Amino acid sequence: MKAVYTELHRSHDPQFFLVRGVVKRTTEQPERADRLLAGLKAGKHTLVEPTVFGQGPRARVHSAEYLRFLEEAWDAWVALGDSGSEMIANIHPVRYGATYPTHIVGRLGWHAADTAAPIGKGTYAAACAATDVATTAAQLVMDGEDAVYALCRPPGHHAYADMSGGFCFLNNSAVAAAHLRLKHERVAILDVDVHHGNGTQGIFYERPDVLTVSIHADPVFFYPFVWGYAHERGAGRGLGANLNIPLARGTGDDDYIKAIGEAEKTIRAFAPGALVVALGLDASEHDPLAGLAVTTAGFRRIGAAIAQLGLPTVFVQEGGYLSDILGANLTAVLGGFEEAR
Protein backbone atom coordinates (compact mmCIF):
# COMPACT_ATOMS: atom_id res chain seq x y z
CA MET A 1 0.00 0.00 0.00
CA LYS A 2 1.30 3.45 -0.91
CA ALA A 3 1.48 6.13 1.77
CA VAL A 4 1.27 9.87 1.04
CA TYR A 5 3.38 12.15 3.25
CA THR A 6 4.98 15.59 3.36
CA GLU A 7 7.40 17.18 5.79
CA LEU A 8 5.37 20.41 5.61
CA HIS A 9 3.39 19.26 8.65
CA ARG A 10 6.33 20.30 10.86
CA SER A 11 5.47 23.98 10.47
CA HIS A 12 2.56 23.34 12.85
CA ASP A 13 3.96 22.84 16.36
CA PRO A 14 1.24 23.85 18.85
CA GLN A 15 2.03 24.30 22.53
CA PHE A 16 -1.19 25.24 24.34
CA PHE A 17 -3.63 22.59 25.59
CA LEU A 18 -6.14 23.29 28.37
CA VAL A 19 -7.04 20.15 30.35
CA ARG A 20 -9.43 20.56 33.31
CA GLY A 21 -8.18 24.07 33.91
CA VAL A 22 -4.50 23.12 33.60
CA VAL A 23 -2.41 24.37 30.67
CA LYS A 24 -0.21 21.59 29.28
CA ARG A 25 1.86 20.91 26.17
CA THR A 26 -0.48 19.55 23.54
CA THR A 27 -0.34 15.86 22.63
CA GLU A 28 -0.64 16.80 18.94
CA GLN A 29 3.11 17.13 18.37
CA PRO A 30 5.27 16.72 15.24
CA GLU A 31 6.84 13.65 16.85
CA ARG A 32 3.58 11.82 16.18
CA ALA A 33 4.44 11.79 12.48
CA ASP A 34 7.91 10.41 13.17
CA ARG A 35 6.43 7.48 15.04
CA LEU A 36 3.86 6.89 12.33
CA LEU A 37 6.63 7.00 9.71
CA ALA A 38 8.46 4.31 11.66
CA GLY A 39 5.29 2.22 11.47
CA LEU A 40 5.13 2.72 7.71
CA LYS A 41 8.77 1.72 7.36
CA ALA A 42 8.15 -1.44 9.37
CA GLY A 43 5.27 -2.28 7.04
CA LYS A 44 7.44 -1.60 3.97
CA HIS A 45 5.04 1.02 2.58
CA THR A 46 6.20 3.24 -0.28
CA LEU A 47 6.12 6.97 0.50
CA VAL A 48 4.62 9.31 -2.11
CA GLU A 49 4.83 13.12 -2.15
CA PRO A 50 1.44 14.87 -2.38
CA THR A 51 0.24 16.82 -5.38
CA VAL A 52 -0.63 20.45 -4.66
CA PHE A 53 -4.31 20.77 -5.58
CA GLY A 54 -4.90 24.33 -4.42
CA GLN A 55 -8.05 25.59 -2.72
CA GLY A 56 -10.56 23.59 -4.79
CA PRO A 57 -10.77 20.41 -2.67
CA ARG A 58 -10.92 22.46 0.54
CA ALA A 59 -13.66 24.71 -0.85
CA ARG A 60 -15.88 21.67 -1.48
CA VAL A 61 -16.34 21.21 2.28
CA HIS A 62 -15.32 24.50 3.96
CA SER A 63 -16.96 27.92 3.75
CA ALA A 64 -15.26 30.73 1.85
CA GLU A 65 -15.21 32.99 4.92
CA TYR A 66 -13.55 30.28 7.03
CA LEU A 67 -10.86 29.60 4.44
CA ARG A 68 -10.23 33.33 4.12
CA PHE A 69 -9.99 33.63 7.92
CA LEU A 70 -7.40 30.84 8.15
CA GLU A 71 -5.35 32.37 5.36
CA GLU A 72 -5.36 35.85 6.90
CA ALA A 73 -5.41 34.97 10.59
CA TRP A 74 -1.73 34.97 11.53
CA ASP A 75 -0.82 38.24 9.80
CA ALA A 76 -3.84 39.96 11.33
CA TRP A 77 -2.92 38.59 14.77
CA VAL A 78 0.67 39.82 14.53
CA ALA A 79 -0.54 43.22 13.36
CA LEU A 80 -2.27 43.74 16.73
CA GLY A 81 1.18 44.44 18.14
CA ASP A 82 0.69 42.91 21.59
CA SER A 83 -0.39 39.39 20.66
CA GLY A 84 0.91 36.06 21.92
CA SER A 85 2.82 33.32 20.13
CA GLU A 86 -0.37 31.36 19.41
CA MET A 87 -3.92 32.35 18.52
CA ILE A 88 -6.34 31.09 21.18
CA ALA A 89 -9.93 32.34 21.25
CA ASN A 90 -11.18 34.13 24.36
CA ILE A 91 -14.76 34.42 23.09
CA HIS A 92 -17.15 31.84 21.65
CA PRO A 93 -20.26 33.68 20.41
CA VAL A 94 -22.33 30.52 19.73
CA ARG A 95 -24.00 32.58 16.99
CA TYR A 96 -27.40 33.25 18.56
CA GLY A 97 -28.56 36.31 16.63
CA ALA A 98 -24.90 37.21 16.16
CA THR A 99 -23.21 39.32 13.49
CA TYR A 100 -20.09 38.04 11.76
CA PRO A 101 -17.22 40.11 13.23
CA THR A 102 -14.51 41.97 11.35
CA HIS A 103 -11.92 42.16 14.15
CA ILE A 104 -9.46 39.27 14.23
CA VAL A 105 -10.23 38.46 17.90
CA GLY A 106 -13.91 38.21 17.05
CA ARG A 107 -13.30 36.14 13.93
CA LEU A 108 -11.06 33.79 15.90
CA GLY A 109 -13.83 33.13 18.41
CA TRP A 110 -16.46 32.77 15.68
CA HIS A 111 -14.45 30.07 13.93
CA ALA A 112 -13.28 28.10 17.02
CA ALA A 113 -15.39 25.40 18.68
CA ASP A 114 -12.94 25.16 21.60
CA THR A 115 -9.44 26.18 22.73
CA ALA A 116 -7.74 22.98 21.55
CA ALA A 117 -6.69 24.21 18.11
CA PRO A 118 -4.23 27.07 18.66
CA ILE A 119 -3.05 28.72 15.45
CA GLY A 120 0.65 29.44 14.99
CA LYS A 121 2.70 30.99 12.23
CA GLY A 122 2.90 27.79 10.19
CA THR A 123 -0.51 26.27 11.00
CA TYR A 124 -2.31 27.29 7.81
CA ALA A 125 0.48 25.97 5.57
CA ALA A 126 0.53 22.65 7.43
CA ALA A 127 -3.26 22.29 7.37
CA CYS A 128 -3.36 22.98 3.62
CA ALA A 129 -0.58 20.45 3.05
CA ALA A 130 -2.59 17.87 5.00
CA THR A 131 -5.58 18.33 2.68
CA ASP A 132 -3.23 17.86 -0.29
CA VAL A 133 -2.04 14.60 1.29
CA ALA A 134 -5.64 13.40 1.70
CA THR A 135 -6.68 14.51 -1.80
CA THR A 136 -3.64 12.83 -3.36
CA ALA A 137 -4.51 9.56 -1.61
CA ALA A 138 -8.09 9.83 -2.87
CA GLN A 139 -6.91 10.57 -6.41
CA LEU A 140 -4.57 7.56 -6.38
CA VAL A 141 -7.50 5.34 -5.40
CA MET A 142 -9.66 6.91 -8.11
CA ASP A 143 -6.85 6.16 -10.57
CA GLY A 144 -6.89 2.46 -9.70
CA GLU A 145 -5.03 1.83 -6.43
CA ASP A 146 -6.92 -0.59 -4.18
CA ALA A 147 -6.06 1.36 -1.02
CA VAL A 148 -3.81 4.29 -0.06
CA TYR A 149 -2.83 5.70 3.34
CA ALA A 150 -2.62 9.47 3.95
CA LEU A 151 -0.37 10.58 6.84
CA CYS A 152 -2.22 13.81 7.60
CA ARG A 153 -1.07 16.20 10.28
CA PRO A 154 -2.73 18.24 11.71
CA PRO A 155 -5.69 15.87 11.86
CA GLY A 156 -9.12 16.94 10.67
CA HIS A 157 -12.24 15.11 11.83
CA HIS A 158 -13.26 17.67 14.50
CA ALA A 159 -13.20 20.54 11.97
CA TYR A 160 -16.60 21.73 10.77
CA ALA A 161 -17.28 23.57 7.54
CA ASP A 162 -16.45 26.83 9.32
CA MET A 163 -14.98 25.93 12.73
CA SER A 164 -11.76 24.48 14.08
CA GLY A 165 -11.58 22.37 17.23
CA GLY A 166 -9.95 19.36 18.86
CA PHE A 167 -6.52 19.84 17.21
CA CYS A 168 -8.23 20.14 13.78
CA PHE A 169 -8.47 22.99 11.26
CA LEU A 170 -9.38 21.52 7.86
CA ASN A 171 -11.31 18.26 7.62
CA ASN A 172 -8.99 15.91 5.72
CA SER A 173 -11.39 12.94 5.76
CA ALA A 174 -14.25 15.08 4.44
CA VAL A 175 -11.97 16.52 1.74
CA ALA A 176 -11.01 12.99 0.67
CA ALA A 177 -14.66 11.89 0.58
CA ALA A 178 -15.72 14.94 -1.43
CA HIS A 179 -12.92 14.25 -3.92
CA LEU A 180 -14.02 10.62 -4.28
CA ARG A 181 -17.52 11.91 -5.01
CA LEU A 182 -16.20 13.22 -8.32
CA LYS A 183 -16.17 9.58 -9.42
CA HIS A 184 -18.60 7.76 -7.12
CA GLU A 185 -22.30 8.46 -6.59
CA ARG A 186 -22.06 7.48 -2.92
CA VAL A 187 -19.10 7.44 -0.52
CA ALA A 188 -18.91 6.18 3.07
CA ILE A 189 -16.70 7.44 5.88
CA LEU A 190 -15.88 5.07 8.74
CA ASP A 191 -14.30 6.89 11.69
CA VAL A 192 -12.45 4.64 14.13
CA ASP A 193 -10.83 7.39 16.19
CA VAL A 194 -11.45 7.23 19.96
CA HIS A 195 -13.24 10.59 19.63
CA HIS A 196 -16.47 11.15 17.74
CA GLY A 197 -15.93 12.65 14.27
CA ASN A 198 -18.21 15.58 15.02
CA GLY A 199 -16.88 17.90 12.32
CA THR A 200 -17.29 15.24 9.64
CA GLN A 201 -20.79 14.50 10.88
CA GLY A 202 -21.66 18.20 10.77
CA ILE A 203 -20.37 18.68 7.24
CA PHE A 204 -22.45 15.84 5.78
CA TYR A 205 -25.39 15.78 8.23
CA GLU A 206 -28.00 16.85 5.68
CA ARG A 207 -26.53 15.05 2.67
CA PRO A 208 -27.74 11.66 1.40
CA ASP A 209 -24.67 10.94 -0.75
CA VAL A 210 -22.04 10.56 2.01
CA LEU A 211 -22.62 8.09 4.84
CA THR A 212 -20.84 8.99 8.08
CA VAL A 213 -20.22 6.25 10.65
CA SER A 214 -18.29 6.89 13.86
CA ILE A 215 -17.20 4.33 16.47
CA HIS A 216 -15.93 6.17 19.54
CA ALA A 217 -15.79 6.50 23.30
CA ASP A 218 -19.19 7.50 24.66
CA PRO A 219 -19.50 11.33 24.77
CA VAL A 220 -21.19 10.95 28.16
CA PHE A 221 -17.62 10.84 29.54
CA PHE A 222 -15.37 11.79 26.62
CA TYR A 223 -14.68 14.65 24.18
CA PRO A 224 -16.55 16.16 22.37
CA PHE A 225 -19.27 15.65 25.06
CA VAL A 226 -22.06 17.43 23.13
CA TRP A 227 -21.98 15.43 19.89
CA GLY A 228 -21.67 11.74 19.10
CA TYR A 229 -24.82 10.21 20.58
CA ALA A 230 -26.65 7.30 19.00
CA HIS A 231 -29.83 9.30 18.32
CA GLU A 232 -27.96 11.62 15.91
CA ARG A 233 -28.96 10.08 12.57
CA GLY A 234 -28.76 12.97 10.09
CA ALA A 235 -31.37 15.53 9.06
CA GLY A 236 -33.43 16.49 6.03
CA ARG A 237 -32.32 14.55 2.96
CA GLY A 238 -29.47 13.14 5.06
CA LEU A 239 -31.72 11.48 7.63
CA GLY A 240 -30.44 7.94 8.13
CA ALA A 241 -27.02 8.68 6.58
CA ASN A 242 -25.28 9.11 9.94
CA LEU A 243 -24.56 6.34 12.44
CA ASN A 244 -22.89 6.83 15.82
CA ILE A 245 -21.71 3.83 17.85
CA PRO A 246 -20.63 5.07 21.30
CA LEU A 247 -18.61 2.61 23.41
CA ALA A 248 -18.12 2.25 27.15
CA ARG A 249 -14.85 3.36 28.74
CA GLY A 250 -12.21 0.65 28.47
CA THR A 251 -13.87 -1.28 25.62
CA GLY A 252 -11.41 -3.89 24.31
CA ASP A 253 -10.85 -5.88 21.14
CA ASP A 254 -13.84 -8.22 21.01
CA ASP A 255 -16.50 -5.60 21.67
CA TYR A 256 -14.79 -3.19 19.29
CA ILE A 257 -14.91 -5.80 16.52
CA LYS A 258 -18.62 -6.27 17.24
CA ALA A 259 -19.07 -2.53 16.69
CA ILE A 260 -17.20 -2.82 13.38
CA GLY A 261 -19.69 -5.54 12.44
CA GLU A 262 -22.59 -3.20 13.18
CA ALA A 263 -20.96 -0.49 11.07
CA GLU A 264 -20.37 -2.98 8.25
CA LYS A 265 -24.11 -3.75 7.96
CA THR A 266 -24.93 -0.06 7.57
CA ILE A 267 -22.14 0.53 5.06
CA ARG A 268 -23.15 -2.45 2.92
CA ALA A 269 -26.79 -1.30 2.91
CA PHE A 270 -25.65 2.16 1.75
CA ALA A 271 -23.72 0.53 -1.16
CA PRO A 272 -20.98 3.15 -1.56
CA GLY A 273 -18.50 3.13 -4.41
CA ALA A 274 -15.57 3.94 -2.12
CA LEU A 275 -14.65 4.16 1.55
CA VAL A 276 -12.72 6.70 3.63
CA VAL A 277 -11.38 5.39 6.93
CA ALA A 278 -10.76 8.18 9.43
CA LEU A 279 -7.97 6.25 11.09
CA GLY A 280 -7.51 7.25 14.68
CA LEU A 281 -5.12 5.03 16.62
CA ASP A 282 -6.02 6.59 19.96
CA ALA A 283 -8.40 3.76 20.87
CA SER A 284 -5.20 1.97 21.92
CA GLU A 285 -4.84 0.59 25.43
CA HIS A 286 -1.56 2.55 25.64
CA ASP A 287 -2.75 5.90 24.27
CA PRO A 288 -2.27 8.74 26.77
CA LEU A 289 -5.93 9.81 26.37
CA ALA A 290 -7.05 6.44 27.82
CA GLY A 291 -10.59 6.15 26.51
CA LEU A 292 -10.69 2.63 25.06
CA ALA A 293 -8.39 -0.40 25.32
CA VAL A 294 -7.71 -1.88 21.87
CA THR A 295 -4.51 -3.96 21.62
CA THR A 296 -2.08 -4.06 18.71
CA ALA A 297 -3.58 -7.42 17.73
CA GLY A 298 -6.97 -5.73 17.88
CA PHE A 299 -5.87 -3.10 15.39
CA ARG A 300 -4.82 -5.87 13.03
CA ARG A 301 -8.32 -7.32 13.36
CA ILE A 302 -9.82 -3.89 12.67
CA GLY A 303 -7.80 -3.63 9.47
CA ALA A 304 -8.91 -7.10 8.41
CA ALA A 305 -12.56 -6.29 9.12
CA ILE A 306 -12.38 -3.12 7.01
CA ALA A 307 -10.83 -5.11 4.15
CA GLN A 308 -13.85 -7.43 4.12
CA LEU A 309 -15.97 -4.56 2.82
CA GLY A 310 -14.11 -4.93 -0.49
CA LEU A 311 -14.22 -1.23 -1.30
CA PRO A 312 -11.58 1.09 -2.77
CA THR A 313 -10.26 2.59 0.47
CA VAL A 314 -8.52 5.79 1.56
CA PHE A 315 -7.03 5.67 5.06
CA VAL A 316 -6.76 9.21 6.47
CA GLN A 317 -4.72 9.59 9.66
CA GLU A 318 -6.62 11.23 12.50
CA GLY A 319 -5.65 10.82 16.18
CA GLY A 320 -3.16 8.57 17.92
CA TYR A 321 -0.77 10.19 20.32
CA LEU A 322 2.67 9.64 21.80
CA SER A 323 3.14 6.10 23.03
CA ASP A 324 5.79 3.48 22.35
CA ILE A 325 3.21 1.40 20.51
CA LEU A 326 1.88 4.06 18.08
CA GLY A 327 3.95 2.99 15.07
CA ALA A 328 3.29 -0.70 15.68
CA ASN A 329 -0.46 -0.06 15.77
CA LEU A 330 -0.31 1.63 12.38
CA THR A 331 1.72 -1.27 10.98
CA ALA A 332 -0.87 -3.65 12.41
CA VAL A 333 -4.00 -2.03 11.01
CA LEU A 334 -2.58 -1.58 7.51
CA GLY A 335 -1.02 -5.04 7.60
CA GLY A 336 -4.29 -6.61 8.71
CA PHE A 337 -6.07 -4.87 5.84
CA GLU A 338 -3.51 -6.07 3.27
CA GLU A 339 -3.50 -9.65 4.53
CA ALA A 340 -7.31 -9.88 4.41
CA ARG A 341 -7.48 -8.40 0.91
* Per-position DSSP letters for 160-199, written without gaps between them: -SS-BBTTBSS-HHHHHHHHHTTT-S-EEEEE-SSS--HH
Q: What is the pLDDT of residue 94?
A: 86
Q: What is the pLDDT of residue 243?
A: 99
A 10 A CB-CB count for 20 gives 5
Catalytic residue among 9, 158, 195, 286: 158
How many angstroms separate the CA atoms of 261 and 146, rounded? 22
Phi-psi region of 146 (alpha: psi -120 to 50; beta: other; left: phi over 0): alpha
How many angstroms separate the CA atoms of 87 and 78, rounded? 10
Q: What is the pLDDT of residue 289?
A: 87
- Reported as a single tens digit per residue, the pLDDT across 112-165 is 999 999 999 999 999 999 999 999 999 999 999 999 999 999 999 999 999 999
Judging by DSSP bridges, how do beta strands 22-25 and 16-19 pair with one another?
antiparallel
Let me know: does 154 contact 205? Beta carbons within 8 Å.
no
Question: What's the pTM?
Answer: 0.98
For domain 2-340, the CATH superfamily is Histone deacetylase domain (3.40.800.20)
Q: What is the pLDDT of residue 271?
A: 98
How many angstroms separate the CA atoms of 165 and 155, rounded? 10
List of residues 6+ apart from 31 with CB closer than 8 A: 322
How many angstroms separate the CA atoms of 287 and 326, rounded? 8
Q: What is the pLDDT of residue 272?
A: 99
Q: Which of 216, 139, 126 is nearest to 178 (CA)?
A: 139
The one-digit pLDDT tens for each residue of the chain (341 residues) are 999 999 999 999 999 999 999 999 999 999 999 999 999 999 999 999 999 999 999 999 999 999 999 999 999 999 999 999 999 999 998 889 999 999 999 999 999 999 999 999 999 999 999 999 999 999 999 999 999 999 999 999 999 999 999 999 999 999 999 999 999 999 999 999 999 999 999 999 999 999 999 999 999 999 999 999 999 999 999 999 999 999 999 999 999 999 999 999 999 999 999 999 999 999 999 999 889 999 999 999 999 999 999 999 999 999 999 999 999 999 999 999 999 99
How many angstroms separate the CA atoms of 84 and 315, rounded? 36
Indicate the DSSP class of residue 146.
Answer: S
- Whether 158 is a known active-site residue: answer yes
